[in-house]
Structure 1
Amino acid sequence: MEASKVIHAIYNDDDVLMHAVKKVKAAKHHIEEIYTPFPVHGLDKAMGLAPTRLAICAFMYGCVGLTVAILMMNFIMIEDWPQDIGGKPSFSYLENMPAFVPIMFELTVFFAAHLMVITFYLRSKMWPFKKAENPDPRTTDDHFLMEIPVHGNQQELHDLLAQTGAVEINVVDKAH
């Protein structure tokens, strides 16, 4: 296992963190990761992260749910066991489609929601019994941590981070 050094800059305010991220990015340093106790609005944009494509997945999963609903209701109510319910004969799918709309909606939402959760966990590499990757437990309470790799510029980074309002700056060996 090869170890490399990273700097952990700890902040106690999200506005100070946002200002620091902009300063660090302006100085052309790569920010490896930021750990926060709650989502910070605009942080992904300030870090220069690409927009998420999870919305595309949600749409595709919704389409799968709608398709499953249509095929399931057509098979169950029209082909397999047509019934005369309340004087409404089940001779064709189109004649009965208004009664099927709630089921189509519910299965669309069901598939989109459940498959999105699974996709999010897989994409985030979060699965049962996985060890937490949080480098400092204070980031789950009230502190913010910025992780920057060190490439022979430790003093320069330390000085820059001290100027940005970091309350604590630590150099750590991180195993890859």
Structure 2
Amino acid sequence: MASIGMVYLRPVQVVYFRMTGPYATSSEKAWGEMFDWLDQHGLRQQTGRGYGLQRDNPRQVGHDACRYDACVEVPDGIDVSAREKVLTQKLPGGAYVRQRHVGSYDEVGHVIVGLRDGWMPSNNLVVDARRPLVTIYLSNPDITDKLQLKADVCLPVTAMERTARMAV
């Protein structure tokens, strides 16, 4: 198992595309829109990390209502007219539990489940539902072997309430 630790993510200004539906399909569609937009404006080589934001818990809202944001940091000197099709937002900062994933990006969901249902409860932490789950994509899938892709899977955390801890 990759090492797990606590990090503080700083707020970051990003441009993004949002899609709704099951995360497996909405993430693919959102990244497709983002890559098309970046290519249209000649910005793809200027961006570094990608951020995938999972905004909803499918257990609470249902898979079809889940919102996924494909984000990249706003490149310096971006032309305002180039922003017409995308939205902007500030990625929420704060305390997150982070696990580095190496392998296919298709496996990120398994990492999330392992952290949320295993590691976090055993460390008296729960997901902070006010902030999205963040996957920081560190590798370019166009030039990196599928098994060597790297991503930091980050779940927003808050301490388990005292009464809940006492019941455990």
TM-score (norm 2): 0.28
Query: In proportion to residue count, which structure has more strand?
Result: 2
Structure of greater Rg: 1
The one of the two structures with greater contact order (alpha-carbon pairs below 8 A, sep at least 6) is 1
